[in-house]
Structure 1
Amino acid sequence: MPLPSRRISTRIGSIAESATMKVDAKAKALKAAGEGVIGYGSGEPDFPTPDHIVEAAVEAARDPKNHKYTPAAGLPELREAIAEKTTRDSNYAVEASQVLVTNGGKQAVYAALATLVDPGDEVIVPAPYWTTYPEAIKLAGGSMVDVFAGPDQDFKVTLEQLEAAVTDRTKAMLFVSPSNPTGSVYSPEETRAIGQWAAEKGIWVITDEIYENLTYDGVPFTSIASLPELADQVVILSGVAKSFAMTGWRVGWMTGPADVIKAATTLQTHLTSNVANVSQRAALAAITGPTEPIDAMREAFDRRRKTIVEKLNRVAGFETPVPKGAFYAYVDARGALGQPIAGRTPETTTELAEIILEEAKVAVVPGEAFGPSGYLRLSYALGDEDLAAGIDRIEKLLGSKS
């Protein structure tokens, strides 16, 4: 009997590979082949995980109790610590029972959308957006309604834009501050206004707070979940990857109303069961341990932020706003499009990124991965020397401003 003509399901075959992971993989492959590539693609701190966290993991690995299955929702001690942290830092009072520990932040994104969104539901997503959001919405059977805010708005959407995007099928809105990919941070007043609007509309808010510890220039982090009127229609996503240099440990979480977390936990019992216990013990040490390592990393990111913006703004055709959070610069590269570069004339930032990689051996992520063409994302979570050298290569290729 012949195999069905469609070997891969339509659901899985329709999703796109992560653009940031694809760029990072290509850069690493070129490096492995002996090319001197400098990669700005991956949102991954170049620092090692702090020593006290590693030591907690080593100790946990030696304890036989961590060699067995544990509750699918997470270790009780870790869930309690996350609840305390959320109550303190996000001003959203939750119990440990309202926390689900996930295999990294991406699983938290998927679990939240799979739990809340039905086929036909619409999810409002401010753009530029993280590359995973559209695919997770699609997997849940929903439709993304993107709302673009350009550099003239500091990449932050307005209430008028959100209001224009609402339909009778709107189920949820994604809110991300500090933002990946732009580094923009909504002010307390802007956050409050959007939260009040969502509460009045009866729209779920899924807020991704993974960069909450990374803000600069005295700009505060404000959780949209802190609004009392949103308490029963908000889900917080976060994790240890970015602030604690723990991308490879794969520990994230979601917190929210008890019924949502219970349903998402049921999904996880069939999807992955518990997160690796050693990683959970490491995450517990991160959340409850000293803050000095985090402060030191943030200071380094702040220094690199200033360097990368200054250097990028010397490049012909580039305009780079100063990001206030996360560790990304989002370059308005529209001035470089339509200009001859190394015998080619790029019309999109996908084409521009390809030329920069091939000619300058520098990997950047084109704006098409996050929304409209015309922009480039560069992570400054890499060493100071590479950071400076890579921009110098781009400037040499594209030329300097007069």
Structure 2
Amino acid sequence: MNFDFADRVERVEPSATLAISSLATELESEGVDVVDLSVGEPDFPTPEVIVEAATEAMEAGHTGYAPSQGVRDLREAIAADLARRDLDYAADEIIVTPGAKQALFETFQTLVDDGNEVVLLDPAWVSYEAMAKLAGGSLSRVDLSASAFQLEPALDDLAETVSDDTELLVVNSPSNPSGAVFSDAALEGVRDLAVDHDVTVIADEIYDRITYGVEPTSLATLDGMRERTVTINGFSKAFSMTGWRLGYLAAPEELIGQAGKVQSHSVSSATHFVQHAGITALRECDDAVNQMTQAFRERRDLLTDLFADRGVEVPVGDGAFYVMVPTGDDDARWCEDALSEAHVATVPGSAFGTPGYARLSYAAGEERLREGVNRLADGGFLSL
């Protein structure tokens, strides 16, 4: 049988991150020692208190369907947690989702129609492009690579891109893949453009707890932005809960009502007992998050020093757990050869809209980071 695939599926490619990870796993199954620096997954176990809370929730019978919008106690805990960053959301302005990726997907599906313009800041997380295309949107992109991945120096370029025809602008700070934390001046520039052109903004703040010496500003706290911002966050990164699939979106109640339709007719709800574990994560795990963040900071500093010792300068981000390493023109070939020859897994920058770089994750132990850089250096991959 010849399937007649929908245009929306044909418009997108598989995730480059997961594709590289799959190849690395295949090599490992053959007995090859791969230093996997490709996946944005903390290497720390989920804090035990969260695991215990999930077990207790299952034993208490929270194994059936949950309310589609999310357990109210969790939504209230999220609202209280958002208030720590001066974000004023009520529980009814929050949808709990199975992962922050689902929250993003629902937002794109709710706001983007065929032909609507979506503006991305490159390098941009790979799934933004796919989600925009699945919703039928058209993409415009602003390159931040010339400014060490910071937005403020590129505000004029952004101003030339955003117009009255722009439906949606996506801002990810701290950034995956660059680790950049955008300045208040940069975010105020976004605010001015969004207000002037009546643009909705997605503020993807999934890495907001993983920062080093800076406090990231939330877009929705700026004058004029609360009513036009969808704040996205989740539990995967900060609480090392990637496999638990728990995230949320916070937005004005009118948008919540529409996005809730997408949730109810797709995934129904986030897993019931996982939501109860999320309450514990927010209320009891600040110390664990701080310890993990300190370890990430030490790894970032180690990794940048290791590259500097080999004559390679990489822009140092103040958040998340990634660096962008220059590769030369053919970043895809560089990453393929680095995996097949040096057995180091990375992700090509072209997957994020920024050719000439590879993303490395330092969510790995210090010894593996040393080994990875040594292999790249010994294989000639740092001699550009």
Q: TM-score by structure 1 length?
A: 0.92
Structure 1 consecutive aligned stretches of length 4 or more whose deviation exceeds 4 Å: 399-402
2:349 counterpart of 1:367: yes
Q: How does 1:150-165 map to 2 (within 5 A)?
A: 150-156=145-151, 158-165=154-161
Show the counterpart of 1:341.
Answer: none
Q: 1:331 aligns with which of 308, 325, 330?
A: 325
2:224 aligned partner, one-letter code: E
C-alpha distance in 2, partners of 1:194/1:279? 35
Partner of 1:380: 362
Counterpart of 1:63 in structure 2 is 60
Equivalent residue letter for 1:181: P
Give the SS at the match of 1:228: coil
Matches within 5 A, 1:107-186: 107-156=102-151, 158-186=154-182
Give the C-alpha shift of residue 104 in structure 1. Answer: 0.4
What are the Cα deviations for residues 371-400 of structure 1, in whole angstroms up to 9, with x where unaligned? Answer: 131001000001111111111100111177
Say whether 1:26 aligns with 2:23: yes
- Contact residue 105 and residue 251 of structure 1 kept, 8 A: yes
In 2, the alpha carbon distance for the partners of 1:314 and 1:13 equals 44
Asked whether the equivalents of residues 211 and 243 of structure 1 are also in contact (C-alpha less than 8 Å), the reply is yes
3-state SS, counterpart of residue 398 of structure 1: coil
The answer to whether the Cα contact below 8 Å between 1:124 and 1:170 also exists between their aligned partners in 2 is yes
1:128 and 1:149 in contact (8 A); partners too: yes
User: Whole-Å Cα distance in 2 between the matches of residues 208 and 34 of structure 1?
Assistant: 38
Asked if residue 54 in structure 1 is aligned to residue 51 in structure 2, the reply is yes
1:297 match: secondary structure: helix
User: What does the per-residue CA deviation read over 1:185-239, in whole Å, with 9 as the maximum and x for residues that have no partner?
Assistant: 11122222322321222110100000001111x2221111111311111100010
Give 1:140's aligned amino acid: A
Unaligned ranges ≥5, structure 2: none
Summarize the Cα distance change of 1:15–1:401 in structure 2 as closer, same or farther, 3 Å threshold: closer
User: SS state of the match for residue 169, structure 2?
Assistant: strand
The answer as to 2:190 corresponding to 1:208 is: no
Aligned with residue 222 of structure 1, among 217, 226, 241: 217
CA 1:84 to 1:22, structure 2 compared with 1: closer, same or farther past 3 Å? Answer: same
The total of aligned residue pairs comes to 383
Q: Work out the CA distance in 2 between the residues paired with 1:280 and 1:400.
A: 44
Contact conserved, 1:314 with 1:400, CA < 8 A, in 2?
no
Q: Is the 8 A contact 2:96 2:249 kept in 1?
A: yes
RMSD: 1.6
Report the CA distance between 1:6 and its aligned residue: 3.7
Matching residue within 265, 286, 294 for 1:291: 286
Q: Distance in 1 between matches of 2:302 and 2:148?
A: 23
Kindly state the Cα deviation for residue 11 of structure 1 after the two structures are TM-superposed: 1.4
Assess, with a 3 A threshold, how the Cα gap between structure 1 residues 38 and 168 changes in structure 2: closer, same or farther. same
- Work out the percentage of aligned pairs sharing the same amino acid: 37
Q: SS of 2:265's equivalent?
A: helix
Return the alpha-carbon distance in structure 2 between the equivalents of residues 53 and 67 of structure 1. 16
Contact 2:150 2:182 in 1 (8 A): no
Question: In structure 2, what is the Cα distance between the partners aligned to 1:137 and 1:45?
Answer: 27
Report the secondary structure of 2:41's partner residue. Answer: coil
Task: Give 1:102's match in structure 2, choosing from 77, 97, 107.
Answer: 97
* Alpha-carbon distance between aligned partners in 1 of 2:197 and 2:164, rounded to the nearest angstrom: 10
- Structure 2 residue aligned with 1:11: 8
Picking from 246, 259, 278, the partner of 2:241 is 246
Q: Distance in 2 between matches of 1:257 and 1:277?
A: 24
Report the Cα distance in structure 2 between the residues aligned to 1:200 and 1:78, rounded to whole angstroms.
Answer: 35
* Structure 1 residues 299-338: aligned runs within 5 Å: 299-315=294-310, 318-334=312-328
1:379 counterpart letter in structure 2: S
Distance in 2 between residues matched to 1:134 and 1:328, nearest whole Å: 20
